[in-house]
Copies of this chain bind each other. A is one copy, B any other.
Amino acid sequence: MDLKLATEIAKCLSNPTRLQIMEWLKEPETHFPPHETLQHFNDGVCVTYIQEKAGLSQSTISTYLTNMEKCSLLVLTRHGKWSYFKRNEETLKEFSEFIL
């Protein structure tokens, strides 16, 4: 973890909606309805569910999630037409160690 990446990560976390999403993704089953096809949250939550819960536009949330994935805060897994995002605990740990 270098200064540049840590700054990008902090930028992602510096918006209440994005930080809230990170919190929700700690426990997807308590914050989101079950998916239509998948019977689990192993790969996280799909964009639509996150968008509906956040209450911002689809494009905004999609951009948020894409950026969070680019700095490896989130991991993206595609299943058919759905994109699932889950937390990358490893990155969070490295960021945490960087600032402490």
Contacts and interface: CB of A to CB of B under 8 A. Distances in A.
Contacts of A92: 99-100
A23 B7 contact: no
A93 interface: yes
Copies of this chain assembled into the complex: 2
Contacts of A47: none
A14 B14 CA distance: 7
Main secondary structure of the interface of A (DSSP, over half): helix
A3 interface: yes
Interface string A58-72: 000000000000000
B3 A10 contact: no
Contact of A96 (B6, B15, B23, B96): B96
